[in-house]
Each structure stands twice: as structure tokens, then as C-alpha cells.
Chains A and B, each alone.
Chain A
């Protein structure tokens, strides 16, 4: 099955700095989703990016499918960006089954 590795596992920034999060996966992916989980636990989808580059607000995701990697760039970080960022990819044999990475815990200090 699919394996997903995220790095770094944790990251501490000062407000205003940029963040670069990485996601590597073991098999070709037809879909890739980035999630944000708040410290309180609620999980929300940030964007879906199976290939190429996508922007939404201060977030930019770049996925290079043939290299089996994706990145999430957060520009001008804010304290409210603190939380865990998760990358998820469907299993090739069971598209309904998403495999999640271990996440990057981001802390943005004022």
C-alpha cells in the first residue's frame, strides 16, 4: 500500500516567516490532499493538488508526481497558522482509502 512521509515533524517560526512543508509518497498518486488540524483537533481540507502548482491565499502547493513529492509553502506565517499539517494520498488499489502522513506540527510565535 501507499506510504506517506512528512518532514519536518515539527517546525517553529516567528510570525512573518515562511514555512516549507514536505510530503513524500511511495507510489504514484492520482490525488493528494493537504489538511490542517487545529490544536483543538478539528481537521479541514486546505487544498487538493495531484500535480503542478496550486495557490490559495498564503498557501502554495507544488506536487511533482513523477518524483512522488509535494510541498506546502506558507508565506508570511501568522500565529493562527499554528497546528498540524497533514498530507494524504489515496491507496492505488482502493481509492476510498486515504493514507495520511505523520504530519508537521507548526508553531508560529508572535
Chain B
């Protein structure tokens, strides 16, 4: 049963456009994440929020910005997309940030294609 919901499933856009991806979790978790999965299937964390506070911010281009209105929502905005942004963006949540609470639950992902 999916409890982390992402929209849209797919998005095709052109270089320079702005895109926004939404993520909502209904698990009551405190922590949410955005991961990027490239064409080689490598998963890398981009951001993590705990109770609306940014706690992990990997070195990603400034055109990426996370937005959290409450602990159940974490959106991702990309200003002026580049071809290398084509990837699958996976949202996840966990009850906490350490130990057993770190079990992650993922959404189905948003596949972005930049033409």
C-alpha cells in the first residue's frame, strides 16, 4: 500500500523551463527526503527535512529548491532545467533520522525528461 504519493509520474519539458514536483506522505513521519536516480540507477540524496526544517542539503545546483509547508509535504522545484536534470526523482519519508527510525518508505517517483 503506497503511503508516499508523488505527482506527476512523468514530466517532459524543455531546457530552461521551471518544474515542480509534489510529494505527500500519510504515514505520520517526521522526516522526508528527495533522492535523484540517474540513468545508471545510482541513487543519491539531495535534501532531507525533519519537521519542516532542512537537515541535509547535498551539493546540488542552486536551481533546485525544496519546499516544505508541513511535515507531511515536501515539494521540489527546479528553476531553469538543464539536460543533466533528466532522471527519476524519488521522494521518501521515515519516522525519524537515526537507528531503526531511519527505515525509508519511497514514493513511485517522478521521471523527468529534459529535451
Residues on A lying within 8 angstroms of B by beta carbon are 30-31, 33, 35, 37, 41-45, 48, 84, 86, 88, 90, 94-100, 102-103, 105
Contact = CB atoms under 8 A, between A and B. Distances in A.
A30 B97 CA distance: 12
Contacts of A41: 88, 108-109, 111
B33 A100 contact: no
B56 interface: yes
| 9 pairs of A and B residues whose beta carbons are closest in the complex | A95-B98, A96-B97, A100-B43, A43-B106, A96-B48, A95-B97, A97-B56, A31-B102, A42-B108
- Range for the number of chain B residues in contact with chain A: 20 to 34
A99 B58 CA distance: 12
Interface string B30-63: 0101000000111111001010000110100000
Of B55, B88, B106, chain A has the most CB atoms within 10 Å of the CB of B106
